[in-house]
Homo-oligomer: A and B are copies of this chain.
Amino acid sequence: MASKTPEPRVCSIARSLEVVGEKWALLAVREIFLGNRRFDEIVRRTGAPRDTMAARLRTLTEAGVLGRRQYSEHPARYEYVLSTAGRDLYPVITALREWGDRYLSGEQGPPVTFTHSCGHTLSTRLVCEACGEAATYASATRADPEGEGLRGR
């Protein structure tokens, strides 16, 4: 076999995880989605060490997922806001919540966090971008079953 596929696969999933895959990153984003934009709140509600969360907010800001906004001048105070890219993490967070709701809930059922404006829970659906058809993993083709043919386009 002459041409080896690139060792670490060129992949958007890997790239995404490079940015939001660190331990506390998505929990920070979750808090901001929930409206808690301030450092102390984020630290308190995620349970992260202050130090670690400070570093994480820095990397997320540098990556363009968050913005840092001064909301008070004289005691200089900052809050974190979601960029467009940050807001577009909503499906990722929803999918994770859904999975946790299904497989990691205790006896009292899943905790409720995000709801649709009609009051019900949001979920993610897989659809085909082109034909609009609902899809499942079963109807998805694994483009690279044997480890070949996957090259970036």
A88 to B118, CA, bound (A): 26
Copies in the complex: 2
A57 within 8 A of B: no
Residue contact B145 to A35, C-beta cutoff 8 Å:
yes
Within 8 Å CB of A141, what residues of B? 114-117, 119
Q: Among the interface residues A31, A41, A88, A125, which one has the most CB atoms of the partner chain B within 10 A?
A: A125
A36 to B33, CA, bound (A): 36
A99 within 8 A of B: yes
Within 8 Å CB of A105, what residues of B? 12
A99 to B89, CA, bound (A): 7
Nearest chain B CB to A40 CB, angstrom units = 11
* A21-B21, A88-B99, A124-B125 known, 5 other contacts, Cβ within 8 Å: A88-B102, A92-B92, A92-B96, A120-B129, A123-B126
14 CB contacts below 8 A, A to B, read A11-B111, A12-B97, A15-B104, A22-B23, A34-B145, A36-B144, A85-B99, A113-B143, A116-B135, A122-B135, A122-B140, A123-B127, A124-B125, A124-B126
